[in-house]
Every structure is written in structure tokens, then in C-alpha cells.
Chains A and B, each alone.
Chain A
Amino acid sequence: MQNPATGQSAERAAVPSPSAARSVGLRKVYGEGDTEVVALRGIDVAFEAGRFTAIMGPSGSGKSTLMHCMAGLDSASAGQVFIGDADLTRMKDNELTRLRRERMGFVFQAFNLVPTLTAEENITLPVDIAGGKVDRAWFDLVVGTVGLADRLTHRPSELSGGQQQRVACARAMVTRPAIIFADEPTGNLDSRSGAEVLGFLRRSVDEFGQTIVMVTHDAHAASYADRVVFLADGALVDELVDPDTNAILDLMKSFDQAPGAHGVLEAERAAGTRATGTPTAGTPATGRRCSRRPGAP
């Protein structure tokens, strides 16, 4: 995926690719003693390179924590996190920061941009901070793709929410990172702007072979992904490959019907309708497989 030109492949989904990021026995515990809260209960997950993976789950399921730990923004209590071959859990802050700057891209729900910088300066910020040189051809390609060529000199306050989020996407792309983490990127946007942003993320995977991991609670947003993994109560409970919105909604509905506050896992096991467990790298999804993605732009 280092070369965007070779990244376009419709068949890629069928051929298991090496994982861009994976976790092994990842646990995350907040607090101590009585106030102890287990956010992640030993998660083994892999995100394949060149694919668009969505992480879904109800509030408090640990989906954001998982993403934060995968991105080195939060530290793991136990287990390991790898970006490529690099073990994040062994890194100090400066190494982690450098890794983020060189190999990861971020899109947050809100507050993505530095208000004092222009759109262009915001996009090139990670390169500038690293003291590197911006690859102009790549920059133009990215900016053209997000459709911001005529907005480059604007400050964030002069851009719409959707435009701001597209600037954030362009910023995440500009360093050609190994992986982009997006945390509810459409959470603050209206549906049309949201669709634009998701469309861009989709295209960056299809056209440039970008690896994207997106946390969302919106089934429609998740339907843009190649694969959706479901979290509940700090554990992976299911996943779908090439999902459509209805399939996702159906699956989520089944979680809701399950009895008990955190009995999702138990409920599923009792129901015995789906394979549960821990999908690992390269393992073909065991869930239902949808024949088609919904119409991406």
C-alpha cells in the first residue's frame, strides 16, 4: 500500500492481506479495587492492510478504548499491540509520538483542526512538525480527491463541518500512513456531509490502498467498511464482512434483545446462532457474508 497506484484491487478482499495492526490479549483496566472497570477483556484482533474496518458496539462497549490502545494514544494494561511489526506496548512516549506521526493518521469526531492554521497548513501539519518535506504531487492528489483545492487558504472557522472533516481526512492521508484511525468521523455531521466524508474514506481504500480503522455507532457509516467487528462489554462478539446497513442493524437488534445488561456474550452463546470468539489475522469471517456493499460513490 506504500504505492497508491498499485492499491486498487477489487479482488483484494478475497485474498487475505497481512495485518497492518493487530492486538494480542489486549486488556485495559481503569481504576483499582472497588472502582476497577475492565474496558477491554483480552482482545485479539487484526486489521488487514488495504482494507476498511469498522468497529461497532453500544456505548461503553470499549470500542473507542480499543482504538485508542491500537493507536498508542492509551496504554494497554496487558497484552500487546502491533503496528506492522512494531510493538507499541514496549515504546516510550517519544517513540510512540514518532510512530503516530510517521505511520498513523487520525480523524476525530470533533476538534480536528488547529484554528490558527489554514486548511493547507492543517493538512501538512504532521509533515511540518516532523520537519519533513511535503510531497506536492501526493498532496495535490489527496486535496483533489477530498475536493478542497479551492479552500486551502481558509481558516477552519471559514469552513463547514463537512469541509473541516475532509481537511482532517486529508491531513490523515498526507504522510501516507500505514493506518488511519477514525473515531466517529461523521458523529457531528449531517447525513450529506457524513456521506461525503465516508465516500472519501472508501475511495482512499479503493484507489490508494489505504488501511482504515473506524469506530462508529452508526450502522450506515459502518456499511461503507469492508468488514465490521462488533464489541460488547469489552470483548469482540461478532463480525461481518462486506456488510450492508440492514445486516448490521439486524445483528445489532439481536444484541438488544439479549437479556441482561452485560449478558450479550452469554446470550449469544445460549442462542447459538452465531459463531463467537476471536477472529484473527487472515481468518475468513465466520459471520454472514453479504454479497454486496451498498452503493459507494
Chain B
Amino acid sequence: MLKATWRSLKAHKARMLLSGLAVVLGVAFVVGTFIFTDTLKGTFDQLFSGEVPDVVVSQELAVGGDDGTGSVVSVVPQSVLDEVAALPGVARATGNVQVLGVALLDGEGTAVGGNGPPQLGLSWPEFPDDPKLSGLSLVSGRAPSGPEEIAIDIETAERGGFALGDTVTVVTQGPRIEAPLVGLFRFGVSGGFAGVTLTVFERQYAQETFVGEDAWNQLGITGEPGVTPERLRDDVREALGAGWSVSTGQELQDEQAEQFRQALGFVNTFLLVFAFIALFVGTFIILNTFSMLVARRTKELALLRAIGASKSQITWSVVGEALILGVLGGVLGIGLGILVALGLRALLAVFGAELPAGDLVLAPRTIIVGLVVGTVVTVVAAWFPARRASQVPPVAAMRDDVALPARSLRLRAVAGTLLLALGLVAVLLPVLVDDLPQRLQTLGVGAAALLVGVIVLAPVFSRGLVGVVGAPVNRLGAVGRLAVRNAQRDRRRTAATATAILIGLALVTAIGVLGASTTRSTDALVDDVITADVVVQSTSFVPFTTEVGDAIADVPGVATVSRVRQAPALVDGDAGAVVGVEPETFGLVNALDFDPAGLAEGGIIGDVVTAAGAGVQAGDEVEVTWGPGRTDTLLLRETYQPQAAFEGWIVSLETLERAGLRAVDLFLYVQLDEGADVEAVRAELDAVQAAYPVVQIQDQTEFKESITGQINQLLNLVYALLGLSVIIAIFGVVNTLALSIIERTREIGMLRAVGTLRRQVRTMIRWESIVISFFGAVTGVVLGLGLGVALQRLLVEEGITQLAIPWPLIGIVFVATAVVGVLAAVWPARRAANLDVLAAIRTE
């Protein structure tokens, strides 16, 4: 039997190639994902493996940046440093400055980095030779010794084209300075920090500029010999009391590594979802291939049965073929996966995520996963045809009209309809019932059931729908009619081929609806809420220097600059972000349903949900803790209905400043004078933007476009990742056509004999391809539209209030489908047209 299996595989090389390709591509995607994330992990593990202080002290409530605000970093006064230094067991204690948003402008005036990895500003280490307290080693030049002198890491120097002795423009969260570059240093092993730009200032200057006199962002402590970091940590913790975060350097490093691993895990899962969609699509192609091979070999199988092969031997001979194909596909897929990993890095770079380059990591786990996935997918897909092969009765060997026992579609119809009904209920229920728990999850399950239901049911409705889709083709005469009939001929095959297309396009359409709805909703929100003429925001979500606002306020024609800041705080014991606004002007630039004037003189305003969560109502006092020993009691003046634009606690800027929080702006809303020369103002604003390229200065239209641009970027990434599934689906169409042409060799020969031109044969195959592709596309788009609309309805409360159907996208999908149909038919059509008429008639 083994020999028969191998022979069959070899005999059907060409046909196996295409379905093998589906396995290879799917596996390559999975393997590529793992290599990609493993490589990133390897790079970062290396970064997180350097020497660290024994103990690190920072302020609790500090926002490190993982919530995207990073507006306030930890502040540790000199007094705390002195206290720690005096503790027994402490060898050295040093203060460090570490701030975000320090951008170096290259020769063209653009900021180096900033897409992803942060732009860090540091103080020069107090003990440069103590590896635990300094990650830097000077390569050339000297340490910055005076105000406005800088040293940078060698990687950043290379990226920005900076050389020792240059004067570099540095835009910080404080001033914009022209800094002489006096030193280049190496960080860690690689020289840089994985795309992070490191700019180091003289210690006192860094303190005064970024933290405040006699204050640091963080303390690094080393212990006397014999004092363990844990012991030191406990001692320091006890000495300092509440409000301080004290941990060992190792803990902190592990925590950072863990956070990173989680983020990476998310990326991994995100990519794997698409890889498995591709594999899922691939299974239909494998299934189709094996079904057709089994059908072709009916007589041979019957002969094997007649001479004594058991049913299970037949099954396993087919499964054996799948096994070999799966292993081969897995091996090739692993090889191709390396390229995919490089491709993914390039893809994400295109979509704005700069990732550090590192040696590719091919873990044993990756290889095993690749092989297992390839094999399991192939074998599972081949199982059904294999079972069918075993149903061939031995007597078929003796009969002329060999056909597999026809199977009824009734079971399929029942199961598919049930699934479809179940899916519909699960999709509609959360849409119609507002207070259903787990609404999104229910919808997800419903969507899956709908998809599977449609797939199961596809063979049942394929003949009818192909007839509808193919109606225009049918009218093209005999050739068109033949094409449509051919597409209708084998319902299962047509359905399986179309399913491969359907899955990808359903997802594209659903996501397209969601994207278009989000865009429209955001536009509506901006129109409804923002009354400012100009909006200023950071390019990297890191707050920016107040100099920007000052510069804009000086522009003639600008009436108002209203600043918005954010700070982390404990409000009645709950940690959260507090927004700071200017009470006098905030109402001018935003349409509000509350009066910001109430924020003056120690007022606070919260949305009803947040206030209810804290158990307070208008008129109550609210306790807000900004940091150790800095607590305000504010009066809740008013509550408001939360909406997508605002929610949570709002205070005045004055309150934030009084609390000692550093002044950095998150947003600026600018109102122009009535009758201002918009062109002139625009030119002046452009000049400000050029000086501070860390911000975007946009009018309403530009602001909306920038949000749309972000949404579209994400959508395009998803489309690109779904692209592989579509490519696999194309192989499926090619495969189906090629196989069905082989099956129809005699028929095509006969058509040629009675006068069908080669061109007409090609046209016939091409139309067949297009009709099958459109069958998949129409089903997919309808399904995707339904799911997209349901999803939008569900997300109304999340701010996606408007429904938008992406007609251009759907148009593109159909055009692309036609192109796919034509392309997929090129090779099979040529084969069919070039069939030797006589050989075709003679075929046994």
C-alpha cells in the first residue's frame, strides 16, 4: 500500500504542487510570525540583560508611557536621595533624570526616530565607571559638562548623520536648544537601544530643565558587599514609607521585559490570527485536490478493493499521501518562513513601526510548530476525501461508468441551516438587546457560526447562486453558457473553491465597514465637538514643550490658545488620568455640555459614570493625590454625560501647576481672530511646525484626515495580512480549473473536434474562473457587510456612531475578483486550448 501511495503522489506531481503550495504558504506565515517575534524578543532580551542597580526608587503613580500619555514622570526630591544615601548597607545612591520627548533634528530638520521607540533624554551618570549605575561607555569626545551640551549614542549618531563637534538642534519637552555634540557613547552591547534615541545632558542642567531643582526622576542604589538587593530593597522601603515605589533593579528589569513580552505576545497573536486564516483557506484547496484525485482514481481504488485491500487501507493510503505532502509542505514552509519574517518586518516598517534589526531566531519550537501545523492541516483536509475513497465498492472496478457514490446534500443543508440560524441569532441578539452581557463575545461566536454555516451550506446554494452570478455570462452565447454550466457542474468543488475566496473577502469587507464607520464617526465627532480653528497634537503621543503654544500665541491673527494637559493621580483612592484645561478658554474651542468655569479655584468636574464609580455627586469633595505628600481636596462642581471625546476627571491647569506638575502640553486648541488672514496665519503656523517637528499643527480638515490616515494605516496593514489568504485562494482557483480540465479532457477534445476555436476554449475557461470567483466574492461581501453592520451597531457606545459602507472598497474587491479570475485562468486556459484534440478523444 505504501508503494501505491508513493506512486500516486509522484504521478500527480503537478496537481500536488498547487495544493502543496497552499500548505507551504500557510506554514510559512505561521513560521514567519514566530521567527519575527522570537527575533524581536531575542533583541530585547539582550537589552534587558545588562547590569542594573541593586535597588531603584521612583515615585508611585508615575506614568511610564504605556498608556500613551507619559505626561508626568516620577519626581524624587534630593532630600529622599540624601535619606537613602545615609541608610546603613547602602554603598552608593545616585539620582537620574530620564525624560521622554527629546528629539534630535537632523540636517533636514526632521526628528530622528519617534515612530515607536521613544526619544529619551538622560542625565550623565554620576558614576560612569560603575556598570550597575551606568549603562553608558564613552566612545569618543567627553561627557557633557555644561548647560546645553549633549552626548548621544553611536547608533543615533549614525542614523541622524551627526558627528562630534556638530551643533544639533534638540527639541525637548522644555526648551528647544542648539546643543554642541561633545560626546558619543555606546549603550549596552549593540551600541544603541533598539531604535530608542538616547540624548544625555549634564546632570545639573538635566535636573533643572526637566525635573526641577533638587529633584530626580529615579534613584539608583547599590548595596555594600554582603547586602542582598532584596534586603536593601526592604530596608529602603521601610525607611521611605508610602508613596514610593522601591524595587530591586532585577525586578524592574523583569517587569519591563514582561511588559514587552506581553506586547510581543499580542503582536504574535495578531499575526497568527491571519496565518491561521490563511491555513484555513488552504485546507479547502487541499480538500478539493484530494477529492478530485480520489474521483479520478475511483477505478484504481476499486481494483485495489477487489483484490483484497480493506477499507481502512484505502483510507490510509490517501491519508498517507496527505501526510507526505504535509511534511514536505511543512519543511518548505519553514524555509519560506524566514523570508516571511523579513517581509513582516518590512511590512510593519512601511506601516510606521520601526523595529530593531537582529539576527533571525529560528527556535526548535518554531520548526516543530511548522511541521505539525503543515501535517495536521493537510491530513485533516484530506481525511474526508480519504473516507470517501474507502466507500468505493469493489464492483466499480468492473463497471464502465465509474463514479463515486453520490452523496446527498441533505445533511449538509440541515447542518448548514442550523448553523446559519444559530449564527444569525447570536449576531442579532447583542445588536438588538442592549443589556446583554458579553455582547462582543456573543457577536464573535455568531460571526464564526455564520461563516462556518455559509461554508457548510455553500455547496447547497452554489448551483443557484452561480446561475444568478453567471446570468450575464450565460447570455454571451454557447461559450458563456458552457462556462456557467461547468461552474455549476460540481457543486462541492465550486463551493470549496469559492469558499477560499469568500473567507478573505468577508473579513476584508467587515473590517472595511468598521473602518469606514469609524472614520465617519470620528469626522462627525470632530465636527460636533471641536470648535477650534486649529488643533495641535504630538506626532508620537508624547506631550510637548509649552514653547509651541507660546509661539502660536504670538502669531498675529491668533485669538486664543487653549492648552490641554494630563496627569496621573489617585482620585478618591482610584488611580486614573486627570485632564487639565483652561477654564476661561476651553469652552470656546470645544462644544461642551458643562461649564468649564466651574473648574477655577479648586473645582473638579467628572462624568457621571466615573463620579458614580467614586461614589460622589455634584457638591461633594473629592480627594486627589498627585504624588507623595501632595494631596488636594477639590470640589465636584458638576457632572456630565461621558462621550467619545471626553470622559473622566477634568481640572484646571492651575490646579495641576499648583500640585507641582511639570508643564507639558498634550493638545492645543487654537482660535483665530475673526477676519484673520488665514493664509498669513497658516504660513506663520507652518514656521512654528518647522521649528518644532514633534507636533502637528492642523486645521479641522487636516485633523480629520490625520485621524482617518491612522485608521486607514491600520486597515491597510490588516488588508495586507489578509492578502496572503487571497493569494492562496487564487491558487485554489487555478488548482480547481486545472484539475477539472484534466477531468474534462475528452469533452474539451470533442468541443474542439466539432469546431470550437482555441480562443473560444480559453474564453470558456476564463469565464468559468470569473464566475466561480464572483460566486465567492458576492457571498463573502454580503456576509462581510452583514457582520460589519452588526459590529458597528454594537460599537455605537464605543463612539462608532455612524454607519458607513465602503463602496469604493467593495468596488475594488469586485474589480480585483475579476482580475483574480482572469489571472487564475491563464495557465489552465492555455492548457485546455492546447490539448491535442485526438489525444483528448482517445483518452481512456
Cβ-based interface call for B424 (8 A): no
Beta-carbon contact of A94 and B758 below 8 Å: yes
Q: Does B489 contact A (CB under 8 A)?
A: yes
A102 to B756, CA, bound (A): 11
Instruction: Give Cα A131 to B750, complex, Å.
Output: 18
Q: Report yes or no: A73 in contact with B477, Cβ–Cβ below 8 A.
A: no
27 contacts between A and B (CB under 8 A): A71-B753, A73-B753, A73-B837, A94-B758, A97-B756, A97-B757, A97-B758, A98-B757, A100-B754, A100-B755, A101-B755, A101-B756, A105-B754, A112-B750, A113-B750, A115-B489, A116-B486, A116-B488, A117-B481, A117-B485, A121-B481, A125-B478, A128-B478, A129-B477, A129-B751, A130-B755, A131-B477
Contact A116 B758 (CB under 8 A): no
Chain B residues with Cβ below 8 Å from A130 are 755
Chain A 115-135 interface mask (CB, 8 Å, partner B; 1/0): 111000100011011110000
Interface 1/0s, chain A 73-111, versus B by CB < 8 A?
110000000000000000001100110111011101001
CB closest chain-B residue, reference A65: B838
Contacts of B751 in A (CB 8 A): 114, 125, 129
Question: What distance in Å separates the Cβ of B755 from its nearest Cβ neighbour in chain A?
Answer: 2
Q: Which residues from 158 to 215 on chain A have a C-beta closer than 8 Å to any C-beta of chain B?
A: 171
Please report A residues at the B interface, Cβ cutoff 8 Å: 68, 71, 73-74, 93-94, 97-98, 100-102, 104-106, 108, 111-117, 121, 125-126, 128-131, 171
Chain B residues within CB distance 8 Å of chain A = 477-479, 481-482, 485-486, 488-489, 746-747, 750-760, 837-838, 841
CB pair B747 A111 closer than 8 Å:
yes
In the bound complex, do residue B753 and residue A100 qualify as a contact, i.e. CB atoms below 8 Å apart?
yes
In the bound complex, CA of A101 to CA of B479 (Å): 14
- Taking a contact as CB atoms under 8 Å apart, the answer to whether B754 and A101 are in contact is yes
Q: Which residue of A lies closest to B484 (CB)?
A: A116
Partner of A129, one of B746, B758, B760: B760
Q: Is the Cβ of B747 less than 8 Å from the Cβ of A114? A: yes
Contact A114 B750 (CB under 8 A): yes
Question: How far is B755's CA from A94's CA once the two chains are assembled, in angstroms?
Answer: 9
Chain A residues near B485 (CB-CB < 8 A) = 114, 116-117
A111 to B481, CA, bound (A): 19
Q: How far is the CB of A69 from chain B (nearest CB, A)?
A: 10
**B747 & A106 in contact (Cβ 8 Å cutoff):** no
CB pair B754–A126 under 8 Å, yes or no, is: yes
A62–B746 CA distance with the chains assembled, in angstroms: 21
Q: Could you say which residues of chain B place their CB within 8 Å of the CB of A131?
A: 477-478
State the 6 A-B residue pairs at the shortest beta-carbon distance, nearest first.
A101-B755, A128-B478, A116-B485, A111-B746, A100-B755, A129-B478
CB of A121 to closest CB in B, whole Å: 7
The answer for the CA separation of A115 and B740 in the assembled complex, in Å, is 14
Shortest distance between the CB of A174 and any CB in chain B (Å): 10
Contact status of A98 and B486, CB under 8 A, knowing A111-B750, A114-B747, A114-B750: no
Which A residues lie within 8 Å of B486 (CB)?
116
CB <8 Å contact, A108 and B477? no
Bound CA–CA A115/B488 (angstroms): 12
Q: In whole angstroms, what is the CA distance A108 to B747 when docked?
A: 12
Check if B755 sits within 8 Å of A93, measured CB to CB.
no
Interchain CA distance A131-B475 in the complex, whole Å: 12
Give chain B residues whose Cβ lies under 8 Å from the Cβ of A171: 754
B residues less than 8 Å from A106 (CB atoms)? 750, 753-754
The smallest beta-carbon distance between A212 and chain B, in angstroms, is 16
Min CB gap B710→A, angstroms: 51
Q: Are B838 and A117 in contact (CB under 8 A)?
A: no
Shortest C-beta distance, B840 to chain A (Å), equals: 9
Q: Which residues of chain B are near A114, meaning CB under 8 Å? A: 482, 485, 747, 750-751
Report the separation of the CA atoms of residues A249 and B215 in the bound assembly, to the nearest whole angstrom: 121
